[in-house]
Amino acid sequence: QVQLVESGGGLVQPGGSLRLSCAASGIFFSVDTMGWYRQAPGKERELVATIAILRGTNYADSVKGRFTISRDNAKNAVYLQMNSLKPEDTAVYYCNVVPPTIAKAGPYWGQGTQVTVSS
């Protein structure tokens, strides 16, 4: 069955960097839309970035210029390079995969990986 596993989270100082990875099994990204969401304590889950095969990338205004989403279809993986991290970036980050509507499947979510930005 489909499973998404995030990794790469951890504790980092403000201004530091982290690279999140999401490995998928039981599914091939191909034309699927992939993305990253995050949820901070007391906050609703919000979109961070998405990447689609044709539509390209999309970023939340709060992370533009600092985060970069990328994908490797051959490895069924999606990544999120996070630079210049701020305390407000602290959250649980979730990997998301959405197959084409015609596939009538998904969306799929990972279990989340904690990112903490603190001194």
pLDDT value, residue 108: 94
The number of residues in the chain equals 119
At residue 28 the predicted structure's pLDDT band, cuts being 50, 70 and 90, is confident
pLDDT value, residue 87: 98
Ramachandran quadrant class, 96 (left: phi over 0; alpha: psi -120 to 50; beta: rest): beta
DSSP percent split of the chain into helix, strand, coil, nearest 5: 10, 50, 40
- Tokens 């970069």 correspond to 68
Q: CA–CA separation, 86 vs 97, rounded Å?
A: 26
Chain segment 45-89, per-residue pLDDT in tens: 999 999 987 779 999 999 999 999 999 988 889 999 999 999 999
